[in-house]
Amino acid sequence: MSAPAREAYVDYHPGPADATAHFAEEAMRRAAGSPEAADGDRVSTSVSHIESPSVQIAWRLRMQEIGITLPLTTFFEAVQQPDPRTPKGQVDLVAWQYEGTQARPALGSPDPRAAQAVAAIAAQRYHLPTWADLAQSTAASFGSPWAQHLVATMLDPPPAPDHVHPLDWVPRVQVAAALVIAFGQEGYRTLYSLAIGPVDWVVDAAIVAIGELALRSPAVRPNAEPLLEWLRSQIPREGFTSYGYPLACTLLRLLAPHDPRRAEVMAWRDRILRGEEPGTTASGAIGVIDGLNMETYAEFCVRLEQIQMGGGGSVSQLAAEYGVPMIGGIHAYSTGWNEAINRDPRLGLAFAQTKARINLQMRGIDPDSDEARLSHNLMQGKGLDQEEEMRKAQAAHQQLAAGGGGDLDPVVFPGQAVAKLSDYVGLMKRMQTGDFNGALAAYGLNMGSYSQVMQAWGTKLGVDPTLNAKLGQMMAR
């Protein structure tokens, strides 16, 4: 998919744009650079109007990663109207409670089962329809009493995985939790309470989930559209309201192409993008640099490296597809992303991990599977338990000898050049004759794609002793 066709909050999450989030991002970097000096100190900032308290959640997670105690205090000079601290109507529950201008979570710690289920979705590459499918399956395991634990997970998420920065992780967890709530009992009612509750990234997540639920449940749509339009009227003209941009994007998903309201909402969204709309903006959203979010730029870099390894394709065409500038006529990269990655070690780690996960996905390997863990261990130079591997191999051979093990020629990588076990065997046998180039040509491979095929098959064979036993039988024929 080309970069211009990517839809915010559907194909990628733009990340927060609060001034407090930007301050926290810079302060996190300073704290990580001098943890001994920062430990036990205090950080404070002053902002004109109240912003999203979820910034504090991301701050806490990052300080836990660094391993220091460093409170962040935000002073707000004024309270915008309507008051973002209070619900806009009757609600069943609230996420945040305020004492003056300081917010604290209104719920206790979530049940670990709810937190783990939500985190499993949030760790996947962001794609709203895919997340919604996962959330619908997850919701089947939870009943109505779990709604409070799902909301509590929004406020007390598990630690961020290496491939997601905490400032990105918190809103992702909140969207994932909102989607699970959406498909549960009384899902819309709970999301309604969150959407009209104290303004925060939690409201953003509820709006995104309401939009997805409305697209999938016609009975919800007549209530969802008026709610979202009313929420727009509740955006103060002063200060910053986080839910403006996700609201505009969600409304555009719901309005049909011929709807006369669509052009006006699109113009509103475009003003938000340009930073010209009072009370809200998407300008400078954390996680989006040079028009690309981290996952998209990581995917671009992986594909660029494949071309550079001889995998075929054109650098200029790839750059045009992703909207990345060509440098000097032969190179392509985002200066903004490269500088950000080099400046922030935590972001650099997330970027490297994201590239590794995308590499695995392109090779047909689930990044969270045993195959991925084996691949990671091998790249790190970690050996295998030889006795355990021998035991597994013997058990697999016994299983095949007894007529078990399923399909003797399974399709391991559907739709790829060397998809079936017999394809892999054919490639190996032809290469054993010394006809290396002919073997590659026979299976539509070049040096770059050959390397990927060998890595993918090696990883699969490394964790599947039954597949390995079938390979042995087929090679012996």
Could you read off the pLDDT of 198-234 as tens digits, one per residue? Answer: 999 999 999 999 999 999 999 999 999 999 999 999 9
Domain count, the chain: 3
pLDDT at 2 over 70: no
Of 44-48, 166-170, 289-293, the one with minimum mean pLDDT is 289-293
% of the chain exceeding 70 in pLDDT = 91
Task: Please indicate, yes or no, if residue 190 is contained in any of the structural domains.
Answer: yes
Q: How confident is the model at residue 463 (pLDDT cuts 50, 70, 90)?
A: low
Task: Please indicate, yes or no, if residue 133 is contained in any of the structural domains.
Answer: yes
What does the pLDDT average to over 9-27? 94
What does the pLDDT average to over 456-476? 74
Mean pLDDT across the chain: 88
Task: Please indicate, yes or no, if residue 395 is contained in any of the structural domains.
Answer: yes
**How far apart, in whole angstroms, are the C-alpha atoms of residue 174 and residue 147?**
13
How many angstroms separate the first and last alpha carbons of the chain? 43
Task: Please indicate, yes or no, if residue 21 is contained in any of the structural domains.
Answer: no
Copy the structure tokens of residue 19: 């001034």
Final residue in a domain of this structure, among 273, 301, 323: 273
**How far apart, in whole angstroms, are the C-alpha atoms of residue 287 and residue 17?**
9
pLDDT at 27 over 80: yes
Q: How confident is the model at residue 309 (pLDDT cuts 50, 70, 90)?
A: confident
In tens, the pLDDT along 50-88 reads 999 999 999 999 999 999 999 999 999 999 999 999 999
pLDDT at 328 over 90: no
On whether both 399 and 357 belong to a single domain, the answer is no
Final residue in a domain of this structure, among 332, 362, 392: 362
Query: Are residues 8 and 35 in contact, defined by beta-carbon separation less than 8 angstroms?
Result: no
Copy the structure tokens of residue 360: 């695995």
3-state secondary structure 145-165: HHHHHHHHHHHCCCCCCCCCC
Of 111-120, 321-330, 425-434, the one with minimum mean pLDDT is 425-434
Axis-axis angle for helices 201-216, 128-139 (nearest 10): 80
Contacts of residue 157, defined as CB under 8 A and 6 or more positions apart, other chains included, come to 57, 61, 115, 118, 119, 122, 169, 170, 173
On whether both 124 and 196 belong to a single domain, the answer is yes
On whether both 311 and 396 belong to a single domain, the answer is no
Task: Please indicate, yes or no, if residue 39 is contained in any of the structural domains.
Answer: no
Query: Are residues 52 and 154 in contact, defined by beta-carbon separation less than 8 angstroms?
Result: no
Bridging pattern class, strands 43-49 and 72-78: parallel
Domain that holds residue 355: 292-362
Of 187-191, 236-240, 257-261, 401-405, the one with minimum mean pLDDT is 401-405
3-state secondary structure 238-273: CCCCCCHHHHHHHHHHHCCCCCCCHHHHHHHHHHHH
On whether both 427 and 462 belong to a single domain, the answer is yes
What does the pLDDT average to over 444-472? 73
On whether both 170 and 228 belong to a single domain, the answer is yes
Q: Can you say whether residue 152 is alpha, beta or left, with left for phi > 0 and alpha for psi between -120 and 50 degrees?
A: alpha
Residue 365 bridge partners (DSSP) = none
On whether both 177 and 317 belong to a single domain, the answer is no
Contacts of residue 359, defined as CB under 8 A and 6 or more positions apart, other chains included, come to 302
Find the DSSP H helices in 256-385.
262-273, 294-306, 315-322, 335-343, 345-362, 370-379
On whether both 178 and 305 belong to a single domain, the answer is no
Task: Please indicate, yes or no, if residue 38 is contained in any of the structural domains.
Answer: no
pLDDT at 372 (0 to 100): 65
CA distances from 186 to 141, 189, 338 (A): 15, 5, 45
On whether both 312 and 436 belong to a single domain, the answer is no
In tens, the pLDDT along 265-283 reads 999 999 999 989 988 887 7
On whether both 240 and 141 belong to a single domain, the answer is yes
Q: Other CB atoms closer than 10 Å to residue 153's CB: what's the count?
A: 29
Task: Please indicate, yes or no, if residue 71 is contained in any of the structural domains.
Answer: no
**How far apart, in whole angstroms, are the C-alpha atoms of residue 241 and residue 199?**
7
On whether both 224 and 139 belong to a single domain, the answer is yes
The DSSP output letter for 125 is P
What does the pLDDT average to over 147-163? 96
Q: How confident is the model at residue 29 (pLDDT cuts 50, 70, 90)?
A: very high
Task: Please indicate, yes or no, if residue 179 is contained in any of the structural domains.
Answer: yes
What does the pLDDT average to over 293-298? 93
pLDDT at 1 (0 to 100): 39
On whether both 160 and 262 belong to a single domain, the answer is yes
pLDDT at 3 (0 to 100): 43
Q: Please give the residue that has the higher pLDDT: either 398 or 109.
A: 109
On whether both 260 and 330 belong to a single domain, the answer is no
CA distances from 427 to 188, 225, 271, 435 (A): 54, 56, 56, 10
